[in-house]
Structure 1
C-alpha cells in the first residue's frame, strides 16, 4: 500500500527551513534544493512564500504572533495596565526566542552587514508597532489632539528601538538561564515608562496655551 504523502503547511515549511539552517550551518542554495532535500514539491513552497527572505521575515513574525496567542490565553493579562502588558510581552517573547535560540542567533549573525540581518525583522517591526498602538492608553497620551499622532509614532519607534536593544543584549547574554536579560527587561521597561510620563508635558502645554492667550488678550 502506497504511503500517503504528508500535506505541507506553512508551519511545516518553517520548521523544515529552521532545521535545515541549523543542520547545514547555512541557508539552502535554492528553493528547488530545499524542497528536494525535504521530499516535497517546489510549488508547495510558493503556496506560502515567494522567497527565502520572505520566509525568514515570517519566522520572526511568527514568534510575535505566538507570543500574543499565549498572552491572550492569560485572563490576568487582559486586566494589566500598559506597563505590565509590555513586561508580559517581553518575558513571553524572549522565552519563545530562547526555545529557538540557536536559529535566532545564527539568523541575526548570518551576514557581516548588520543592516542585512535587520531586514529579517521588518515584518516583526510592523506587527510590534501596531501592538504598541493597541495597548497605548490615555494615561500615556498627550491631551492635545494635534500632537497625539506625532507622539504615538514617537512611542512606537522608541519601543521598537528598545526591543532591538533587548534582542542584542539577549544574544550577547552568557548568564545562566539568561537571568541578566530578565533584569535588563525589567529595568529598561521601567525607565521607558518613566520617560513616557506625559503629565509634565501636559502641564507645560497648558502653561504655554495660558501664556499665548494672555499675550493675545493683553494686546486688545
Structure 2
C-alpha cells in the first residue's frame, strides 16, 4: 500500500514587504525573534533562500521596518498636491503627523521593538536606516538658515540641523511611547509646539514659543513621573 503525502506548495512571490509583515506578526505573537531563518520560512511557508534574497539577518529586517514607516509616510506626502505647495515648516509638520499615524497603526510592534531602548534611542542601531532617510529628507526641505558666508561653517550648520532634527524626532517618539491620552492628543500638541519652536529659533523669532514648549514639557514630565 502506498501513502500519498500532499505537501502545501511553497509561496513563490515573496517580496521584502511580505517578509517585514511576517516578521512583525511573528514577534508580536511570540514576543521574540524567530529561532532561525529556516524556522521562520517554514512557519510562513516559503523557501529559506527567498529570505536571503532580501535580507541578511533578522536585525536587517528590524532596521527596515522603521525605514518602511518612513517610506510609507514619504510616498503618501509626495502624492499630495497640497503637500508639494507647502513651505518647509508645514512640510515637516505634515511629515510628523503622517509618520506618527503610521507608528500608531503599528503601535504594538513599535513598543515591542523600542521598549527596552526607550532611554537610549540615540544609539539604538535598529533606527539607523530611519535616521539616514529622515536626515536626508530634512536636508532636502531647503530650510533657510542664517547665511554664514563660509563653506566650512555652512557644513557644520547643516550637520547640526540634521542632528537636531533627528534628536527632535527621537524625543517625539519617546513622548508618544509614554502618551496615554486619547487618540494621542498630547503627542499632536507636542509635535506642533516642538516643530514650530525649532523654526522660530531658526528665524531668531521671539522666545515665547520656546517658553511655552518648556512649560508644556515640564508639566507633562511631572504628570508622567
Instruction: Give the Å deviation of 1:115.
Output: 5.8
Structure 2 distance, partners of 1:192, 1:41, is: 48
SS across alignment from 2:14:
coil
The aligned counterpart of 2:155 is 149
Q: Which string of whole-angstrom CA distances, capped at 9 and with x for unpartnered residues, describes residues 175-200 of structure 1?
A: 0000000000000011111111269x
The aligned counterpart of 1:159 is 165
For structure 2, which runs of at least 5 residues remain unmatched after alignment?
Answer: 1-5, 206-225
Change (3 A) 1:115 1:161: closer
Change (3 A) 1:4 1:34: closer
TM norm structure 2:
0.82
Say if 2:138 is the partner of 1:140.
Answer: no
The aligned counterpart of 2:28 is 22
Aligned partner of 2:97 among 87, 91, 95: 91
Change (3 A) 1:96 1:113: closer
The aligned counterpart of 1:102 is 108
Change (3 A) 1:148 1:84: same
SS across alignment from 1:26:
coil
Say if 2:33 is the partner of 1:33.
Answer: no
SS across alignment from 2:62:
helix
Aligned partner of 2:176 among 161, 164, 170: 170
Q: Are the equivalent residues in 2 in contact too, given 1:109–1:117 (CA < 8 A)?
A: no
Q: Are the equivalent residues in 2 in contact too, given 1:10–1:48 (CA < 8 A)?
A: yes
Structure 2 distance, partners of 1:180, 1:92, is: 15
Change (3 A) 1:148 1:112: closer
Give the CA RMSD over aligned residues. Answer: 2.3
Q: Are the equivalent residues in 2 in contact too, given 1:53–1:120 (CA < 8 A)?
A: yes
Instruction: Give the Å deviation of 1:116.
Output: 9.6
Say if 2:79 is the partner of 1:73.
Answer: yes
Return 97-106 or 141-150, whichever deviates more: 141-150
Change (3 A) 1:64 1:171: same
SS across alignment from 2:32:
coil
For structure 1, which runs of at least 5 residues remain unmatched after alignment?
Answer: 200-220
Higher gyration radius (CA) = 1
